[in-house]
Amino acid sequence: MAGNETAASDQLNDHQAATRSLTHLPVQALVDLEVQLRAVALATGAKLPGKIDWLHLHAHRLRQRHFFLTRDNAILKIAGELAGIGVIVIA
């Protein structure tokens, strides 16, 4: 059991390090869109993608990947807005 806990802890640490390394490289269009959509979500109670999802979107843009494959409902609901900044969401 301790081995599994150590492996899980190592994976979490790797993920956290990767997340920190991306946070200093924002794609301004995604930052602006996230701010805009969060304001709408506060007013309407809509659910938005979580921080990890936004970082994943940033990573795609930084690597110039324009297609984003997902089954996440929160991302699918903002697919039109993402298309407006060059991210094509595919379910």
What tens digit of pLDDT does each residue of 32-73 get? 888 888 887 787 777 888 888 888 887 887 788 889 999 988
Domains held by the chain: number: 1
- Residue 82: domain span: 2-90
| Percent over 90 (pLDDT), the chain | 7
Q: Give the pLDDT band (50/70/90) at residue 78.
A: confident
Q: What share of the chain is helix, strand, coil (3-state, %, to 5)?
A: 65, 5, 25
- Residues for the chain: how many in total? 91
Q: Rounded distance, CA 61 to CA 43, Å? A: 28
Per-residue pLDDT at 90: 93
What mean pLDDT do residues 13-31 have? 59
